[in-house]
Structure 1
Amino acid sequence: MTAFALGPKARTAGYRLCGFDAVGSTNSEALTAATGGDAGGIWFAALQQTAGRGRRGRQWSTPHGNLAATLLIIPDADPAAAATLGFVAGVSLNRALGQLLPATDIRIGIDGADGIGHSQGARIALKWPNDVLADGAKLAGILLEAQKLDDGRHAIAIGFGVNAVAAPDGLPYPATSLTELGVARSAQQIFESLSDCWVDVFGLWADGHGIAAVLDYWRQAAAGIGAPVSVNQNGQIVRGIFETIDDAGRLIVRADNDARIAITAGDVHFGATASARS
């Protein structure tokens, strides 16, 4: 039994749900539904993915008991505005985790730079463009995929992967889980909270008209603002200080010569690890 359930706000807003114990990919399920004529507003949630994927076609495995969830929507917004839904997703997931984790398990400060150990609580933060970190280790990821429909609109599959019980093995970067953080929360609990938080933040987004407010919330929860950063753009490394996220959602790096470089995509590393990992 998967026993997934929508939160009360999500039910009231008319969202639907399809739950699985295991599935190939919740994003694939969503995009297949879109091709079949689904009007959107439906969640696909699973305790395990056997063919999940991350950014740039990377594999994203989901050990059983973790959360894999995808929301299919067909927004009334142009593609450029729809691309900012990743920030809606990040803020929604950050809020959901904040509701589920005791306050003593969350601490504030630039990721990896405040000098407080795990005994003081984990630092939960958003990493540009689409990860959630706990003390610099990946706790969750978000993947957006778009599909053009016959009527010219775009269906958007917004995928969430949360390490509830275990982090995948063999990753090229640190990863953690809620269990490793000493927090016992099931995938079903995370999903129910996420589905409600999505309603609030998506309403704020307002078909792209409210993206400025969403980005403000994203910055407040961001990892690494004001700290050294390096960005790998297909082998080209950009280094400097992570200054902010601009109004289009681009990462702004201030280089040593004070030039401000706008980054639209790339793999980001912070602080002392920036040089070593890039």
Structure 2
Amino acid sequence: MGQGLRLREEERRGALNWPAGYGRRVLAEVDSTNLEAQRLAGTLAGPEWICALRQTAGRGRRGRPWANPEGNFSATLVLMPREEPRVVALRSFVASLALFDAFAAVTGRVDGLALKWPNDVLLNGGKVAGILLEGMGGRGAAHLAIGIGVNLVEAPGAQQVEPGALRPVSLLSETGVRVSQEEFLNPLASAFAAHEARFVTYGFAPIREAWLSRAARLGEIITARTGTAEITGTFETVDEAGNLVLKTAAGRQAIPAADVFF
């Protein structure tokens, strides 16, 4: 079970401009915020952010370890979505936009920021943040965990990422801006709440449009590696289902899941 105490939630919420309807739980240490989300999900009355000041066993997509040096950001948002799974999965785009806005809020600028399909945020061409979505509660997924990791003060070494992956960077090294985990959590939660409200009210279309306007390498040649194939083509768009669309020598291909390499 995660160690630490919930920090002065009620008295701090107003001062921090915390979004209404979202719980806020900050832990001194935990193995993984996504694992803590699994343990707590059944006890929650509504959406809740779980943030760890120190995470000891984080993980990324496809079960890969997520290196988390001291001072970096680890948090998971637990939601109770009502849509079918294919729609629920589109919240990776909602989370990406929220991260983009949070970086803009703490730095006061957007230059150098870009979104990489399906769930990374880039800063000056390097990976500064990643997102992991996990359904909880068996078939139908009564809860959704949106795990977010951000290199606030230190980036993992090149030996800690897979060959060919983008270089990891930190917010501090690229911008000179130092923020604490809690200082980053507040604008992130506010931005997510705004984009989530838009998504629930108007569907994926405005989220897709906003994401594409911030997309990395749109119109350029990229490579998508699935579990069985490697596809290279021009990054044409993201379609209405969230698929990556590449224009290749074999024609237009929509790819639902892959790792992207530049």
Q: Distance in 1 between matches of 2:116 and 2:142?
A: 26
Q: What is the SS of the residue equivalent to 1:168? A: coil
Deviation at 1:148, TM superposition (A): 2.5
Residue correspondence of structure 1 range 89-238 to structure 2 within 5 A: 89-103=95-109, 106-107=110-111, 123-148=112-137, 154-169=142-157, 170-172=160-162, 173=165, 174-181=167-174, 182-206=176-200, 209-238=202-231
**Which TM-score applies when normalising by structure 1?**
0.83
Which residues of structure 1 form unaligned runs of 5+?
108-122, 271-278
2:69 pairs with 1:63: yes
Aligned residue type for 2:253: I
Over 3 Å counting, the alpha-carbon distance change for 1:168 and 1:214 in structure 2 is same
Residue 180 of structure 1, CA deviation: 0.7
Hey, what does 2:237 align to over in structure 1?
Answer: 244
In structure 2, the partner of 1:120 is none
Whether 1:256 and 2:241 are equivalent positions in the alignment is: no
1:149–1:232 Cα change, 3 Å = closer
**Aligned counterparts of 1:80 and 1:200: Cα–Cα separation in 2:** 21
Segments ≥4 residues shifted beyond 3 Å: 1-7
Q: 3-state SS of the aligned residue for 2:173?
A: coil
Q: Which has the higher contact order (CA 8 A, sep 6+)?
A: 1
Unmatched tracts of structure 2, length 5 or more? none
Residues 1:15 and 2:29 are matched in the alignment: no
Identity %: 38
1:27 matched residue in structure 2: 34
Distance in 1 (CA, whole Å) between partners of 2:30 and 2:220 is: 39
Deviations 1:38-68 (A, max 9, x none): 2331110012211111000100121111110
What is the alpha-carbon root mean square deviation over aligned residues?
Answer: 2.0
Q: What SS is found at the alignment partner of 1:191?
A: helix
Distance in 2 (CA, whole Å) between partners of 1:162 and 1:130 is: 12
Q: Give, in whole Å, the separation in 1 of the partners of 2:218 and 2:91.
A: 21
Distance 2:60 2:172 in 1: 22
TM-superposed CA distance for 1:76, in Å, is 2.0
CA deviation after TM superposition for structure 1 residue 157, in Å: 0.3
Q: How many pairs are equivalent? A: 247
Q: Contact (CA 8 Å) 1:39, 1:73: kept in 2 or not? A: no
